Amino acid sequence: MPELPEVETIVRQLAPRVEGRAVRDIVIADPRWCEPADPRAVEDALRGQRIDALRRRGKYLIAELGSGTALICHLRMTGTVLYDPDGDPPHTRVRIDLDDGHRLRWVDPRRFGTGHLVPDREALDAYLDARLALEPLDPRFTADHLRELARGRRAPVKAFILDQRRMAGVGNIYADEALFRARIHPLRPAGTLNRRQIEALREALIASLKDGIDARGATIDGYRDVDGVSGSFQDRFLVHRRAGRPCPECGTTVVKLVAAGRGTYLCPRCQPRPRTRTGARRPSAVNRRG
DNA sequence: CGCCCTGTTGGGGA
DNA sequence: ATCCCCAACAGGGC
Protein backbone atom coordinates (compact mmCIF):
# COMPACT_ATOMS: atom_id res chain seq x y z
CA MET A 1 0.00 0.00 0.00
CA PRO A 2 2.34 2.63 -1.19
CA GLU A 3 1.85 5.96 0.40
CA LEU A 4 4.70 8.38 0.91
CA PRO A 5 6.62 6.29 3.48
CA GLU A 6 6.51 3.16 1.37
CA VAL A 7 7.73 4.93 -1.75
CA GLU A 8 10.40 6.67 0.29
CA THR A 9 11.53 3.29 1.55
CA ILE A 10 11.85 2.03 -2.00
CA VAL A 11 13.94 5.04 -2.97
CA ARG A 12 16.25 4.72 0.00
CA GLN A 13 16.88 1.08 -0.63
CA LEU A 14 17.03 1.18 -4.38
CA ALA A 15 18.74 4.44 -5.30
CA PRO A 16 22.20 3.35 -4.11
CA ARG A 17 21.87 0.09 -6.01
CA VAL A 18 20.65 1.40 -9.36
CA GLU A 19 21.99 4.89 -9.77
CA GLY A 20 24.75 4.89 -12.34
CA ARG A 21 23.66 1.53 -13.70
CA ALA A 22 22.21 1.15 -17.18
CA VAL A 23 19.14 -0.70 -18.36
CA ARG A 24 20.40 -3.72 -20.23
CA ASP A 25 16.93 -4.87 -21.12
CA ILE A 26 13.34 -4.17 -20.25
CA VAL A 27 10.17 -6.08 -20.94
CA ILE A 28 6.78 -4.58 -20.30
CA ALA A 29 4.63 -7.66 -20.03
CA ASP A 30 1.44 -5.77 -19.32
CA PRO A 31 0.69 -3.05 -21.89
CA ARG A 32 -1.74 -1.39 -19.53
CA TRP A 33 1.19 -0.38 -17.35
CA CYS A 34 2.22 2.38 -19.73
CA GLU A 35 -0.88 2.96 -21.78
CA PRO A 36 -1.75 4.80 -23.87
CA ALA A 37 1.92 4.64 -24.86
CA ASP A 38 3.09 1.70 -26.92
CA PRO A 39 5.02 -0.68 -24.68
CA ARG A 40 7.57 -1.44 -27.39
CA ALA A 41 8.28 2.25 -27.80
CA VAL A 42 8.74 2.68 -24.07
CA GLU A 43 11.06 -0.29 -23.92
CA ASP A 44 13.11 1.09 -26.79
CA ALA A 45 13.34 4.46 -25.12
CA LEU A 46 14.63 2.92 -21.91
CA ARG A 47 16.92 0.21 -23.19
CA GLY A 48 20.56 1.12 -22.77
CA GLN A 49 19.82 4.24 -20.73
CA ARG A 50 21.80 5.04 -17.64
CA ILE A 51 19.80 5.69 -14.49
CA ASP A 52 21.05 9.04 -13.26
CA ALA A 53 18.76 9.36 -10.27
CA LEU A 54 15.98 7.55 -8.53
CA ARG A 55 13.79 9.75 -6.42
CA ARG A 56 10.30 10.36 -5.17
CA ARG A 57 7.74 13.08 -5.12
CA GLY A 58 4.52 12.46 -3.26
CA LYS A 59 3.70 8.86 -4.04
CA TYR A 60 5.36 8.98 -7.44
CA LEU A 61 8.58 7.09 -8.01
CA ILE A 62 10.80 8.78 -10.58
CA ALA A 63 13.76 7.48 -12.54
CA GLU A 64 15.77 10.14 -14.31
CA LEU A 65 17.72 8.82 -17.23
CA GLY A 66 20.90 9.83 -18.97
CA SER A 67 19.01 10.82 -22.07
CA GLY A 68 17.14 13.49 -20.13
CA THR A 69 13.96 11.50 -20.23
CA ALA A 70 12.29 10.40 -17.03
CA LEU A 71 10.10 7.50 -16.09
CA ILE A 72 7.34 8.46 -13.67
CA CYS A 73 5.88 5.46 -11.86
CA HIS A 74 2.96 5.09 -9.53
CA LEU A 75 2.35 1.92 -7.55
CA ARG A 76 -1.28 2.71 -6.82
CA MET A 77 -2.88 0.10 -4.60
CA THR A 78 -0.81 -3.02 -4.80
CA GLY A 79 2.31 -2.23 -6.77
CA THR A 80 5.67 -3.43 -5.48
CA VAL A 81 9.21 -3.11 -6.78
CA LEU A 82 11.47 -6.05 -6.04
CA TYR A 83 15.23 -6.25 -6.42
CA ASP A 84 16.60 -9.66 -7.35
CA PRO A 85 13.60 -11.73 -6.28
CA ASP A 86 13.68 -15.48 -6.76
CA GLY A 87 12.64 -15.88 -10.35
CA ASP A 88 9.72 -13.82 -11.52
CA PRO A 89 7.05 -13.65 -8.82
CA PRO A 90 3.37 -14.00 -9.72
CA HIS A 91 1.89 -10.84 -11.19
CA THR A 92 5.21 -9.61 -12.52
CA ARG A 93 4.25 -6.85 -14.96
CA VAL A 94 7.59 -5.28 -15.89
CA ARG A 95 11.04 -6.83 -15.92
CA ILE A 96 14.16 -4.69 -15.97
CA ASP A 97 17.62 -6.21 -16.15
CA LEU A 98 20.53 -3.96 -15.29
CA ASP A 99 23.99 -3.95 -16.80
CA ASP A 100 25.47 -5.20 -13.54
CA GLY A 101 23.38 -8.35 -13.71
CA HIS A 102 20.86 -7.34 -11.08
CA ARG A 103 17.15 -7.53 -11.80
CA LEU A 104 14.21 -5.29 -11.03
CA ARG A 105 10.68 -6.63 -11.06
CA TRP A 106 7.48 -4.63 -10.96
CA VAL A 107 4.87 -6.82 -9.29
CA ASP A 108 1.29 -5.69 -9.12
CA PRO A 109 -1.64 -8.09 -8.59
CA ARG A 110 -4.32 -5.54 -9.29
CA ARG A 111 -2.56 -3.96 -12.24
CA PHE A 112 -3.40 -0.41 -11.29
CA GLY A 113 0.21 0.72 -11.23
CA THR A 114 1.51 2.87 -14.06
CA GLY A 115 4.68 4.01 -15.75
CA HIS A 116 4.76 7.21 -17.75
CA LEU A 117 7.63 8.42 -19.87
CA VAL A 118 8.34 12.13 -20.26
CA PRO A 119 10.93 13.58 -22.62
CA ASP A 120 12.67 16.10 -20.41
CA ARG A 121 12.89 17.90 -17.12
CA GLU A 122 10.29 20.46 -18.05
CA ALA A 123 7.73 17.82 -18.88
CA LEU A 124 8.56 16.01 -15.67
CA ASP A 125 7.97 19.06 -13.54
CA ALA A 126 4.83 19.94 -15.43
CA TYR A 127 3.43 16.47 -14.89
CA LEU A 128 4.12 16.51 -11.18
CA ASP A 129 3.18 20.13 -10.56
CA ALA A 130 -0.21 19.50 -12.11
CA ARG A 131 -0.89 16.73 -9.63
CA LEU A 132 0.98 17.39 -6.42
CA ALA A 133 1.27 20.09 -3.83
CA LEU A 134 3.90 20.47 -1.12
CA GLU A 135 4.23 17.47 1.14
CA PRO A 136 4.13 17.58 4.93
CA LEU A 137 7.79 16.61 5.22
CA ASP A 138 8.83 19.67 3.24
CA PRO A 139 10.31 22.37 5.49
CA ARG A 140 8.05 24.87 3.78
CA PHE A 141 5.03 22.97 5.09
CA THR A 142 4.65 25.26 8.08
CA ALA A 143 1.65 25.78 10.32
CA ASP A 144 1.02 29.02 8.48
CA HIS A 145 1.07 27.16 5.21
CA LEU A 146 -1.37 24.56 6.45
CA ARG A 147 -3.68 27.14 7.94
CA GLU A 148 -3.72 28.97 4.63
CA LEU A 149 -4.50 25.73 2.82
CA ALA A 150 -7.39 24.94 5.11
CA ARG A 151 -8.86 28.38 5.27
CA GLY A 152 -12.42 28.49 4.04
CA ARG A 153 -12.46 24.77 3.21
CA ARG A 154 -15.70 23.15 4.08
CA ALA A 155 -14.72 19.69 2.94
CA PRO A 156 -14.13 17.11 5.68
CA VAL A 157 -10.57 17.35 6.92
CA LYS A 158 -9.95 13.77 5.84
CA ALA A 159 -10.86 14.55 2.23
CA PHE A 160 -8.69 17.62 2.50
CA ILE A 161 -5.71 15.56 3.61
CA LEU A 162 -6.18 12.98 0.89
CA ASP A 163 -6.27 15.58 -1.87
CA GLN A 164 -2.79 15.35 -3.37
CA ARG A 165 -3.10 18.82 -4.85
CA ARG A 166 -3.42 20.24 -1.38
CA MET A 167 -0.78 18.13 0.30
CA ALA A 168 1.12 15.34 -1.34
CA GLY A 169 1.89 11.86 -0.15
CA VAL A 170 -0.68 11.11 2.54
CA GLY A 171 -3.09 8.26 1.86
CA ASN A 172 -5.89 6.58 3.72
CA ILE A 173 -3.83 4.89 6.40
CA TYR A 174 -1.58 7.73 7.40
CA ALA A 175 -4.50 10.15 7.25
CA ASP A 176 -6.34 8.10 9.87
CA GLU A 177 -3.26 7.84 12.03
CA ALA A 178 -2.51 11.55 11.83
CA LEU A 179 -6.08 12.57 12.63
CA PHE A 180 -6.10 10.28 15.63
CA ARG A 181 -2.82 11.64 16.92
CA ALA A 182 -4.08 15.16 16.44
CA ARG A 183 -7.37 14.24 18.09
CA ILE A 184 -9.39 15.58 15.21
CA HIS A 185 -12.55 13.99 13.87
CA PRO A 186 -12.19 13.08 10.17
CA LEU A 187 -15.49 14.73 9.26
CA ARG A 188 -14.56 18.04 10.77
CA PRO A 189 -14.68 20.71 8.05
CA ALA A 190 -11.07 21.59 7.35
CA GLY A 191 -11.65 25.30 7.58
CA THR A 192 -12.99 25.11 11.11
CA LEU A 193 -9.76 23.92 12.71
CA ASN A 194 -8.30 26.40 15.13
CA ARG A 195 -4.64 27.32 15.32
CA ARG A 196 -3.86 24.70 17.89
CA GLN A 197 -5.49 21.99 15.89
CA ILE A 198 -3.75 23.09 12.73
CA GLU A 199 -0.40 22.83 14.46
CA ALA A 200 -1.36 19.53 16.03
CA LEU A 201 -2.40 18.20 12.65
CA ARG A 202 0.82 19.33 11.04
CA GLU A 203 2.91 17.67 13.70
CA ALA A 204 0.82 14.53 13.56
CA LEU A 205 1.12 14.27 9.80
CA ILE A 206 4.88 14.61 9.98
CA ALA A 207 5.20 12.18 12.88
CA SER A 208 3.00 9.56 11.23
CA LEU A 209 4.91 9.72 7.97
CA LYS A 210 8.26 9.60 9.72
CA ASP A 211 7.22 6.65 11.82
CA GLY A 212 6.14 4.88 8.66
CA ILE A 213 9.51 5.57 7.06
CA ASP A 214 11.37 4.41 10.15
CA ALA A 215 9.38 1.17 10.03
CA ARG A 216 10.26 0.75 6.34
CA GLY A 217 6.61 1.03 5.47
CA ALA A 218 3.40 -0.54 6.60
CA THR A 219 2.73 -4.21 6.41
CA ILE A 220 -0.66 -4.55 4.89
CA ASP A 221 -2.05 -6.90 2.32
CA GLY A 222 1.26 -8.05 1.04
CA TYR A 223 3.30 -4.88 0.93
CA ARG A 224 7.00 -5.69 0.67
CA ASP A 225 10.08 -3.57 0.48
CA VAL A 226 12.46 -4.05 -2.44
CA ASP A 227 14.06 -7.04 -0.74
CA GLY A 228 10.73 -8.71 -0.22
CA VAL A 229 10.64 -7.93 3.48
CA SER A 230 7.45 -6.70 5.09
CA GLY A 231 7.37 -3.33 6.76
CA SER A 232 6.37 -3.17 10.38
CA PHE A 233 4.22 -0.08 10.74
CA GLN A 234 1.04 -2.11 10.93
CA ASP A 235 2.06 -3.20 14.37
CA ARG A 236 1.83 0.41 15.36
CA PHE A 237 -1.44 1.34 13.75
CA LEU A 238 -3.29 3.13 16.47
CA VAL A 239 -6.75 3.14 14.96
CA HIS A 240 -6.56 2.19 11.31
CA ARG A 241 -8.35 -1.11 10.71
CA ARG A 242 -8.82 -1.47 14.42
CA ALA A 243 -12.61 -1.21 14.52
CA GLY A 244 -14.09 -2.93 17.55
CA ARG A 245 -10.84 -2.82 19.47
CA PRO A 246 -10.00 -0.47 22.31
CA CYS A 247 -8.43 2.91 21.66
CA PRO A 248 -4.82 2.78 22.88
CA GLU A 249 -5.33 6.14 24.51
CA CYS A 250 -8.61 5.82 26.38
CA GLY A 251 -9.96 2.32 25.83
CA THR A 252 -13.07 3.44 24.01
CA THR A 253 -14.04 1.15 21.17
CA VAL A 254 -12.60 2.26 17.83
CA VAL A 255 -15.28 2.76 15.20
CA LYS A 256 -15.36 2.75 11.46
CA LEU A 257 -17.23 5.08 9.17
CA VAL A 258 -16.93 6.32 5.63
CA ALA A 259 -15.32 9.68 4.97
CA ALA A 260 -14.24 10.94 1.58
CA GLY A 261 -15.55 7.66 0.27
CA ARG A 262 -12.93 5.71 2.17
CA GLY A 263 -12.99 3.42 5.17
CA THR A 264 -12.15 5.63 8.11
CA TYR A 265 -11.25 4.60 11.65
CA LEU A 266 -11.32 6.74 14.73
CA CYS A 267 -11.78 6.89 18.45
CA PRO A 268 -15.12 8.59 19.10
CA ARG A 269 -13.93 9.87 22.43
CA CYS A 270 -10.47 11.15 21.52
CA GLN A 271 -11.79 12.57 18.27
CA PRO A 272 -15.14 14.11 19.16
CA ARG A 273 -17.61 14.51 16.36
CA PRO A 274 -18.00 17.96 14.89
CA ARG A 275 -21.25 19.62 15.86
CA THR A 276 -24.02 19.57 13.27
CA ARG A 277 -25.26 16.19 14.26
CA THR A 278 -27.96 14.79 12.09
CA GLY A 279 -31.34 16.05 13.16
CA ALA A 280 -29.94 19.22 14.60
CA ARG A 281 -32.50 21.94 15.08
CA ARG A 282 -32.10 25.51 14.03
CA PRO A 283 -31.23 24.80 10.41
CA SER A 284 -30.73 28.49 9.74
CA ALA A 285 -28.29 29.33 12.51
CA VAL A 286 -25.46 29.38 10.05
CA ASN A 287 -22.23 31.01 10.95
CA ARG A 288 -22.23 34.08 8.81
CA ARG A 289 -18.60 33.70 7.71
CA GLY A 290 -16.78 36.90 8.42
C1' DC B 1 -19.25 -20.89 -2.82
C1' DG B 2 -20.43 -16.08 -2.98
C1' DC B 3 -20.49 -11.65 -1.29
C1' DC B 4 -18.07 -7.80 0.49
C1' DC B 5 -14.03 -5.46 1.49
C1' DT B 6 -9.45 -3.29 0.27
C1' DG B 7 -3.84 0.77 -0.60
C1' DT B 8 -4.90 5.16 -5.51
C1' DT B 9 -5.90 8.50 -8.91
C1' DG B 10 -8.61 10.64 -12.39
C1' DG B 11 -12.78 11.53 -14.60
C1' DG B 12 -17.73 12.28 -15.04
C1' DG B 13 -22.00 13.79 -13.40
C1' DA B 14 -24.96 15.75 -9.67
C1' DA C 1 -16.24 24.01 -5.03
C1' DT C 2 -17.47 19.47 -3.49
C1' DC C 3 -19.04 14.84 -3.53
C1' DC C 4 -20.31 10.41 -4.88
C1' DC C 5 -19.63 6.72 -7.80
C1' DC C 6 -16.97 4.33 -11.00
C1' DA C 7 -13.17 2.19 -13.40
C1' DA C 8 -8.89 -0.48 -13.51
C1' DC C 9 -8.22 -6.10 -10.69
C1' DA C 10 -7.00 -9.85 -7.52
C1' DG C 11 -7.17 -11.87 -3.23
C1' DG C 12 -8.49 -12.33 1.52
C1' DG C 13 -12.08 -12.70 5.13
C1' DC C 14 -16.27 -14.42 6.59
Which among A247, A245, A241 has a CA at the least distance from the CA of A269? A247
CB A263 within 8 A of CB A251: no
A26 closest CA partner among A106, A86, A114: A106
Q: Is the CB of A110 under 7 A from strand C?
A: yes
Q: State the 10-residue block means of pLDDT for chain A, 290 residues long.
A: 88 96 96 91 96 95 94 92 92 95 93 93 93 94 95 92 93 92 93 95 95 83 78 77 89 90 91 63 34
Q: CA–C1' span, A165 to B5, in Å?
A: 27
CA of A132 to C1' of C8 (A): 22
What is the number of other CB atoms lying within 10 angstroms of the CB of residue A277?
7
Indicate the pTM of the whole model: 0.92
A244 touches strand C (CB under 7 A): no
Give the separation between CA A254 and CA A252, rounded to whole angstroms.
6
Burial A192-224 (b: 16+ CB within 10 A, else e): ebeeebbbbbbebbbebbebbbebbbbbbeebb
User: Which among A68, A83, A89, A23 is positioned nearest to A222, based on CA atoms?
Assistant: A89
Q: How far apart are CA A14 and CA A287, in angstroms?
A: 52
Enumerate the nucleotides of strand B whose atoms come under 7 Å of any protein CB: 5-10
Q: What is the pLDDT of residue A285?
A: 35
Q: Is the CB of A187 under 7 A from strand C?
A: no
Distance CA A91 to C1' B3 in A:
24
| Cβ contact A151 with chain C strand, < 7 A | no
Return the pLDDT at A219. Answer: 67
Return the active site residues of A: 2-3, 59, 262
Q: Is the CB of A111 under 7 A from strand C?
A: yes
Neighbours of A270 (CB within 10 A): 21
Shortest CA to C1' contact from A131: nucleotide: B9
Q: Please give the nucleotide, over all strands, whose C1' is closest to the CA of residue A109.
A: C10
Q: Give the pLDDT of residue A2.
A: 85
Cβ distance A88 to A97 under 8 Å?
no
Q: What 3-state DSSP class applies to A200?
A: helix
Q: Is the CB of A260 under 7 A from strand C?
A: yes
Length of chain A: 290
Q: Where are the alpha helices (DSSP H) in chain A?
A: 4-18, 39-46, 121-129, 143-150, 157-162, 172-182, 195-214
The nucleotide whose C1' lies nearest the CA of A164 is B9
- Tell me, what's the pLDDT at A13? 93
User: What is the CA A176 to C1' B14 distance in angstroms?
Assistant: 28
The Å distance, CA of A173 to C1' of B3, is 25
Torsion of CA A10, A39, A71, A22, to 10 degrees: 80
